[in-house]
Structure 1
Amino acid sequence: MPFLRRGRRGNIGRLFMRLAQELVAGQKHLATLPDLYYKLRQALADPEVRVSELARLIENDPSLTATLLQVANSAFYGFPRRIETVSRAISLIGLDQVGEIVLTATLAGAFHGIRPRRMDMDRFWRGSIRRALMCRQFARHLGAREAERAFVIGLLSDMGHLVMYHAVPDLMGIVLDMGQENLNELAEKERSIVGCDFAEVGAALCSSWHLPEHIGQVIGAQLDPLSAPEGLHEEAARLNLAISVTELLARGETVTAGISVLDEDAPELSGVDLALLPVLAEHCEAQLDSVLRSLGLS
């Protein structure tokens, strides 16, 4: 099947999305997150939430407590004194950053022990954190208020592959054996062999987790930003550009303003000054190992 831009696929696109939803629904242990996550998300959404209330919720989970304190004491933040309480960590880190840590730690815990065949989980998490950091860098560069949302979108953008490798490993093995030059070709082969692609599965997973609708919409449009709903084109373009940058970083290649992009419209739509890409990428790489270690992902 030739590559079709998502925004122009009509009934075919709806069919692919329905198949993606069925794929997610069949993986019941991946299709839900722990109740604690939803309680914390609800608390974080309350502008009048108290630090003490958040601390009590987090302290109900020893693993999450340990992760938060480890992150707070990591070189990533570099606080001069050791932080020994959850309430102190929340006060110093800030609610937005706590939200990022909670989601990342929750996902790491939920998928702990899952080792799909032919999927390198260390590489997967490294790539996911890279995307998250790059999306956050773009948001901050543009002065966006939703830097935490950008981090979450980047973090979740490749989760569809985790579901696919776990649910249909033999079909994904066929896709891998066919070879591909970039994510556009990979998605095309996934649609041909599996019946849907990783972006569609990722969007379906976000819906299953009851995340805000726009997060799944941006993730579903990551390869074709113009297919996102009106008002989300720019955010989808920034994700697309972040993926292009992080793919280069993963291969150890140099990031320049003239990088090859996955979608020709992404650079202009994103609003990002491409001349700053090398600097933004350098900031991302400087944080990567510290974030991975503090979250127990390396």
Structure 2
Amino acid sequence: MGCVAVDDLRQGMVLSEDVRDIHSRLLLSRGQTINEKHLRILKIWGVCTVNVVGASKEAIDAPDWNDPGRLADARQTVDALFKFVNADHKALRIVYEASVAQRCKDGAARPAAGGFAVGEGIETDIDVAAIRRRIADRRLKLPDAPTIISELNGVIADPFATSNDVARVVHKSPTLAALLLRIVNSAYYGFPSRIDRITRAVTIIGTKEISNLALGICVMRAFKDIPADIIDMHAFIRHSLACGLIARMIAAQINLAETEQVSVAGLLHDIGKLVLYKYYPAAMAVARGHATATDGSVYQSEKALLGMNHTQLAQQLLQHWQIPAVLTNTITCHHKPSTARDVTKAAIVQMADLIANGLGFGTSGERAIPVFDETAWGKLNVPAPNVNLVIRQALHQMRALDIAIV
């Protein structure tokens, strides 16, 4: 027996193992002969691979080994991404090889970073010391929270909130309502029938999950007008969506409760960068230039130049907006999960960020993965094959969820 991608399944093949979704719900039983209806079921529920009788073992979308140039370019890009972490770690080795394979399959090795570089339309002759003083004195320019975020915070905090309460807030923004329904009806959730009302989405998925998802989208949309010459917001949001999606998948692998919270933390993990891109673009240009000159990461350069990195800035913003403390802590500790109140959730977000960067799902402007907390990840006890499964599911579901919030 062996593993076969759903796209390669043919009618008449026989399952050698049960097929379950990411929540361990049984979809098809071992011994079932595949027909057209089963193929639809598997795709609807976001299943990427199944085990069938007589198939040979195969790796994740093997690279095009017949094109040495393409393979060399892909490895060079991924090596640059992984240069600060231990790529020989069992889980990271799987991510590394999958990343090379995906970039080979794409036909080109995508760059690790996007947006501006020093000298590209951004004035870089700035008083970095003055910015550092404002940061140290907590006198940063922070936007006021949109009214809808305050209302969603109230719904999340209310244990008696109903589907009508959530719908009332969400419908104040037709764009938010439409986007929520698009996400709910994608392979991200995998429901077999279309959901056409927010109240129904809340009933099926849950008040907290829809409220948190809406909150995450609203926070991101507050920065939608950042110019393209500063950061490619489509690429930024694609990366953020991928991180939220992958975090949810990893959480499901360990049967973690409240997967919506870790998903939103993934979505918002780089929100501090958006504050810098929007209000201090010249400072970020200098940080990006410093990272290039020192062959380091932007995360390291933020700290070296500004005295604070984007996770600390995110903490100021999220506290200013009164985002729930547990969510704020997971976001701000995703580069140092061992220091988080909930190590598990922060470690999940860090791995999700790493996978999203490796596979090339958009970019937040980082040129290299700065750190990986092996101790925190080890506490999750996620088997290496499950990391492989998460990657396959991410590749499949991102095609369905490849939408922009902007």
Give TM class, smaller chain.
0.7 to 0.9
Matched AA of 1:140: A
CA distance in 1, matches of 2:137, 2:386: 38
Which of these residues, 176, 188, 202, is aligned with residue 288 of structure 2? 176
The answer on 1:22 being equivalent to 2:138 is yes
Q: Pairwise mapping of residues 199-238 of structure 1 onto structure 2 (< 5 A)? A: 199-229=311-341, 232-238=342-348
For residues 173-218 of structure 1, what are the alpha-carbon distances to aligned partners after superposition, in whole Å with 9 as ceiling and x for unaligned?
122123359x983222111112211121122222122112222222
Which stretch shows the higher mean deviation, 98-107 or 76-85?
76-85
Query: Which residue matches 1:239?
Result: 349
5+ residue gaps, structure 2: 1-83, 85-131, 363-368
State the shift of 1:102 in Å: 0.9
State the shift of 1:19 in Å: 2.2
More helix by share: 1
State the shift of 1:150 in Å: 0.3
Which stretch shows the higher mean deviation, 279-288 or 84-93?
84-93
Task: Answer yes or no: is the 8 Å Cα contact 2:253–2:386 preserved in 1.
Answer: no
Query: Which residue matches 1:281?
Result: 391
State the shift of 1:163 in Å: 1.0
Q: Structure 1 pair 105/227, CA: closer, same or farther in 2 (3 Å)?
A: closer
5+ residue gaps, structure 1: 4-15, 253-258
State the shift of 1:142 in Å: 1.1
Q: Percent identity?
A: 27
Q: Structure 1 pair 40/195, CA: closer, same or farther in 2 (3 Å)?
A: same
RMSD of Structure 2 on Structure 1 (CA): 3.2
Query: Which residue matches 1:10?
Result: none
CA distance in 2, matches of 1:200, 1:116: 25
For residues 45-97 of structure 1, what are the alpha-carbon distances to aligned partners after superposition, in whole Å with 9 as ceiling and x for unaligned?
43332222322232233222322333344454565555443323332343244
Who wins on radius of gyration, i.e. which is larger? Answer: 2
Query: Which residue matches 2:23?
Result: none
Query: Which residue matches 1:297?
Result: 405
Which stretch shows the higher mean deviation, 53-62 or 159-168?
53-62
The answer on 1:140 being equivalent to 2:255 is no
Matched AA of 2:331: I
CA distance in 2, matches of 1:87, 1:135: 25
Task: Answer yes or no: is the 8 Å Cα contact 2:337–2:346 preserved in 1.
Answer: yes
Q: Structure 1 pair 275/96, CA: closer, same or farther in 2 (3 Å)?
A: same
State the shift of 1:117 in Å: 4.1
Matched AA of 1:271: N
For 1:215, what is the secondary structure of its paired residue? helix
CA distance in 2, matches of 1:88, 1:212: 25
Matched AA of 2:382: V
Which stretch shows the higher mean deviation, 106-115 or 143-152?
106-115
Which stretch shows the higher mean deviation, 40-49 or 202-211?
40-49
How many positions carry a matched residue from both structures? Answer: 269
State the shift of 1:130 in Å: 1.3
